[in-house]
Amino acid sequence: MTEESETPPPPTVVRAKFGFDGRNNDELSFKKNDMITLTQEIEGGWWEGTINGKTGWFPCDYAIKEHQETRLRSKSPSGLRSNDVSVPSQSTKGVYRTIVLKDFVESEKAHVTELQALFRDYLQPLRAENVLDKQSCDTIVSNIELIIEQQLEILQSVEQFLSSPNAQQRVGGVLLSLAPNMKHLLRAYCENHPKAVEILNEKRELLEAFVQKHEGTMKAFITGLSKPFRHLQKYASTLQELERNIEEGHPDRGDTQRAASVYRDLAHFCSHIRKQKEMQIELLSTGLIRDWVGDAPITSFGDIKYMGTVSVQNNAGEPEDRCLVAFSTVMFVLEITPELNSYILKRRITMKGATVRKLETPQHTLQISEANEDKVLEITLPSSEEMNHWILVR
């Protein structure tokens, strides 16, 4: 008998003894007497369950298990009975899930093959033949080898589920566990990518001769370098399809739901990082800053450690959007003007001897005080991650 034709055991359903208001994104909210389909039971006082299509954690002492006969009579969390024609059968969901999973594995195989070809046909020869100076070559190659290793791990981990029983297919769990390292690798790659593109444009004639020698094209080369972050869209869409075709009580349901959100956010994060770096390159190459003080150009301060939009309080205590540009020794607060790549200098802060303090409120706010200066600057960054990154690189 095949996996799809087997009738899975009925899910465990619990009844809420009290209402619970989940405070975190991975927690479930429900009212008293709501029926919740359990997906995971772990030690430590928390269960994971699904209600109205939402899966999350809740304290186990807020609910009580129903008897088997009660579970069979109860409606599903969506309010539909199991014999309603609008609800796909468990076997149909299993078939769809298998199709989605096979398609995902094939997509991952193709992606890994493309990355390996990029490294073999372009990046490895570029490094070996000394076509560019070492710094430029390292910028283009970046950490692509580590990304290929990560993609191979994802492929091998997901591929094994094709031959696993349905209840043991933890695709969401695997992708969720690998997401932090993927984010770490892609942050470094995306920070490098705009500079790599700039080098490709500056050395285009030289590189065109190189790729023609290796029977390639510049278009294929440039497109290949964007594949590591372009491919992220596939994860969120695949995980959403898997979630649509997963049983209410499947142990991977919650992780699949969370992983879809994590990889969707990761795609947005990579786009944000690339835009930040593109802004840095434009500012250093063609940026116009009005009310600039001194003869030294902004390029004389070295590499930009951080650049992004922050909220700064004006003299009236009202928040205003500003562009923060931080170097290792100095930081500039710029007003963004309607003109393209044009700014107005609002404040310059010497970082030597300056103190930085986190404030409890507002969230993600830092207070910066210059040495021997009574005046302080309060900046509010878009997220705690941006704040921690600013502290790390400053």
CB 370 within 8 A of CB 350: yes
Same CATH topology for 13-73 and 90-284?
no
Q: State the chain's mean pLDDT as an integer.
A: 86
CB 144 within 8 A of CB 118: yes
Phi, psi of 274 (to 5 degrees): -65, -40
Please, which residues bridge with residue 165 across strands? none
Q: What is the CA radius of gyration of the chain?
A: 27
Quote the CA–CA distance of 198 and 352 in Å, as a whole number.
32
The pLDDT value given to residue 2? 45
CB 284 within 8 A of CB 299: yes
CB 359 within 8 A of CB 349: no
The pLDDT value given to residue 7? 54
Give first-to-last CA distance, the chain, whole Å. Answer: 62
Q: What is the DSSP pairing of strand 342-350 with strand 355-359?
A: unpaired
Domain boundaries, the chain: 13-73, 90-284, 288-393
Q: What is the mean pLDDT of residues 228-239?
A: 92
In 3D, which of 196, 266, 278, 204 has the Cα closest to residue 235?
266
Q: What is the mean pLDDT of residues 58-81?
A: 59
CB 167 within 8 A of CB 40: no
State yes or no: cis peptide before 88, omega within 30 of 0: no
pLDDT 10s digits, 147-192: 999 999 999 999 999 888 888 889 999 999 999 999 999 999 999 9
pLDDT class for 108, splitting at 50, 70, 90?
Answer: very high
The pLDDT value given to residue 182? 97
- Give the 3-state secondary structure of residue 214: coil
Report whether CATH 2.60.120.960 matches the domain 90-284.
no
pLDDT 10s digits, 292-351: 988 888 989 988 988 989 999 877 778 899 999 999 999 999 998 888 778 999 999 988
pLDDT class for 390, splitting at 50, 70, 90?
Answer: confident
CB 354 within 8 A of CB 371: yes
Per-residue tokens: 126: 């570029």
| pTM for this entry | 0.77
Quote the CA–CA distance of 167 and 107 in Å, as a whole number.
23
What percent of the chain clears pLDDT 90, i.e. is strictly above it? Answer: 44
Quote the CA–CA distance of 189 and 182 in Å, as a whole number.
10
The DSSP H or E segment spanning 331 is: strand 330-336
Q: What is the mean pLDDT of residues 92-109?
A: 88
**Which CATH number is 288-393's, of 2.30.29.30, 1.20.120.1730, 2.40.70.10, 2.40.50.100?**
2.30.29.30
pLDDT 10s digits, 3-44: 444 555 677 889 998 889 888 778 899 998 898 888 888 777
Give the full edge-to-edge strand order of the sheet including 46-51. 54-59, 46-51, 35-41, 13-16, 63-65
Burial 291-330, CB ≥16 within 10 A → b, else e: eeeeeeebeebeebbbbbebbbeeeeeeeeebbbbbbeeb
Please, which residues bridge with residue 114 across strands? none
Three state DSSP letters for 140-179: HHCCHHHHHHHHHHHHHHHHHHHHCCHHHCCHHHHHHHHH
Res 240 pLDDT > 70: yes
Res 48 pLDDT > 90: no
Residue carrying structure tokens 């009738």: 7
Q: What is the CATH number of domain 13-73?
A: 2.30.30.40
Res 77 pLDDT > 50: no
DSSP code at position 252? T
